Amino acid sequence: MNHISLLNAAPMVRVRTAWSEGRWHARVSSLLAARQDRPLLSLVACPLAILATTLAGSGSPDILWLLVPLAILTWWWGSTEWAWTWVLGVMEACYGIQWAFIGTYCLAAFPHDRILAGVLWAAYAGGVAGVSHLNRKRAGRYSW
């Protein structure tokens, strides 16, 4: 008798787990159903946390693993009406990261025109915030 036939001759054992019985599936389903909209956390706090983590991670990359839980929190606190709200929060974070790196580059590249670079840098962010406020006000959702 060889090794292969011994393995095939063993009786089949069925392992009963909580997942196979459906208990975990029911718990996860009830957790997902209990999710509430928290747009301020999903669209403001999480993108700012992602921005801060990325900026801090440029000096020490060992904290960049925090981006994954922050993206999951952005999804968790996102809208239950529209499933892609979390992508908007992550895109806001990417926009903020680009804005921060471009602004710091301009401030370093133009040392004699720092005031002008700083004013343009802040004015661009203020313009984007104003346009987003008008858009939310026009849509009647999540307005200030």
Instruction: Note whether residue 82 is domain-resident.
Output: yes
Domain count, the chain: 1
Please name the residue that has the structure tokens 């908007």: 88
Greater pLDDT, 50 or 33: 50
Is the predicted pLDDT of residue 15 greater than 70, yes or no? no
Greater pLDDT, 59 or 84: 84
Instruction: Note whether residue 16 is domain-resident.
Output: no
Q: Cα 133 to the chain's mean position, in Å?
A: 21
Position 102: which residue type?
I
Instruction: Note whether residue 21 is domain-resident.
Output: no
Instruction: Note whether residue 7 is domain-resident.
Output: no
Element housing 86 (H / E)? helix 85-109
Instruction: Note whether residue 93 is domain-resident.
Output: yes
Is the predicted pLDDT of residue 141 greater than 90, yes or no? no
Instruction: Note whether residue 9 is domain-resident.
Output: no
Is the predicted pLDDT of residue 87 greater than 90, yes or no? yes
| Structural domain boundaries enclosing 53 | 37-139
Instruction: Note whether residue 17 is domain-resident.
Output: no
Q: Where are the beta strands (DSSP E) in 16-64?
A: none
Instruction: Note whether residue 133 is domain-resident.
Output: yes
